[in-house]
Amino acid sequence: MYMPFRVSVLRSERITPNFQRVTFTGVDQMGPARVTRDLRIKIIIPGLKGLPDLPAGPEGIQVRRALPEDERGIMRTYSVRDFRSPEDPNQASQNRAELDIDFVLHTDEHGQSGPASRWAEEAKPGDELLVIAPSIDDDSGAGIEFSPGDCKTVQLYGDETALPAIAKTLSEWPEGTTGEAFIEVPTEADKQSVDAPDGVRIHWLVRESENADHGDLLISALEAAAPVAQSGSEPSDQPQLDDSVDEASAMVWETPQFSRSGEDITPVEHAEADDVYYWIAGESGAVTAMRRLLVQERGVPRQCVSFMGYWKKGIAHKG
């Protein structure tokens, strides 16, 4: 069950030109109970009237919704880069848990940073915000989309906004699974130290080096890696996907368990061990193009793919 946690900055550091890592304490009761992987959490940064005063339990979410808009703070969605429990041998501060969130320091076409990026750049020890995340006993799997099922080969594709989720997923990789991770970043200096488990290769795709637009390198990598057609399935057998996305509409979010566009999520067939599972996240337009390529053109079964639009060009995403 998701609930708010009031957390404090322990440290903040620029780890690459376009990433600010902020480490928080005050998360001793934060979960989930089992794996974290690509878990989505919400952060609430102070607005003009500061942080809302919310009760610690799940009712705190409803309390915030009932507040006037200018008293709610500013909510954004992030992935967990790392979470260290007090028992973790790598824990820097004994007897308290630590949460790492990596903030992408991006600007719009006018050179303006978003509120979360600005907050992260200016964060100093002792600063507070609210994190809405699962409780320590939550084993529901809510907020986690990585779902390879019986597939023993996995391919991950993501831009810099998906890098934290990819890195955390690789650190909790399912046993007996092989795969590849394709990570697109702005510059060579934005490559991070990411530990790949046995049987997994990491490919860094640098836009600056190729003078490429956002998402183009991921699309090209997928075109090269994806099968022409899945065994026993023709592209025409797959459901037609509605790729029309209005400028103000929600971003693409299609997984084996959920369809934001209202598609039929009844599995076409059960995933087999020799199927490939594709996890794709990043800019919504690029994700939509990759979705069309895999499911419509290459005939990959819908239950073998998770597509998540983390952000959309030209749209200030809230929550």
Distances (CA, A) of 110 to 47, 105, 115, 280, 311: 22, 14, 14, 28, 18
Distance CA(33)–CA(236), nearest Å, equals 42
Strand partners, 14: 20
Could you tell me which of 51, 78, 47, 52 has the C-alpha nearest to residue 64?
Answer: 52
Containing H/E element for 120? helix 115-122
Strand partners, 202: 181
CB 4 within 8 A of CB 56: yes
Model pLDDT, residue 126: 98
Distance CA(76)–CA(319), nearest Å, equals 4
Model pLDDT, residue 260: 72
Model pLDDT, residue 91: 63
Distance CA(217)–CA(184), nearest Å, equals 7
φ, ψ for residue 204, nearest 5 deg: -95, 130
Strand partners, 9: 24
Successive 10-residue mean pLDDT values, the chain, 319 residues: 97 98 97 95 97 95 96 97 82 80 85 90 98 96 95 98 99 97 98 96 98 98 86 48 47 86 58 84 97 94 94 76
Tokens describing residue 69: 């808009």
CB 130 within 8 A of CB 5: yes
Could you tell me which of 283, 2, 292, 319 has the C-alpha nearest to residue 158?
Answer: 283
CB 9 within 8 A of CB 18: no
Tokens describing residue 19: 């990433």
Q: What structural domains and CATH numbers belong to the chain?
A: 2-134 (2.40.30.10), 153-311 (3.40.50.80)
- 235: helix, coil or strand? helix
- Report if pTM > 0.75: yes
Which residues are CB-neighbours of 61 under 8 A, at least 6 positions away? 2, 3, 4, 54, 132
Could you tell me which of 292, 211, 199 has the C-alpha nearest to residue 252?
Answer: 292
Distances (CA, A) of 48 to 68, 124, 130, 211: 12, 19, 15, 39
Exposed e or buried b for every residue in 178-210, given b needs 16+ CB within 10 A?
A: ebbbbbbbbeeebebebeeeeebebebbbbeee
Distance CA(183)–CA(148), nearest Å, equals 19
Model pLDDT, residue 112: 77
Distance CA(307)–CA(256), nearest Å, equals 9
Model pLDDT, residue 315: 76
Rg (CA), the chain: 20
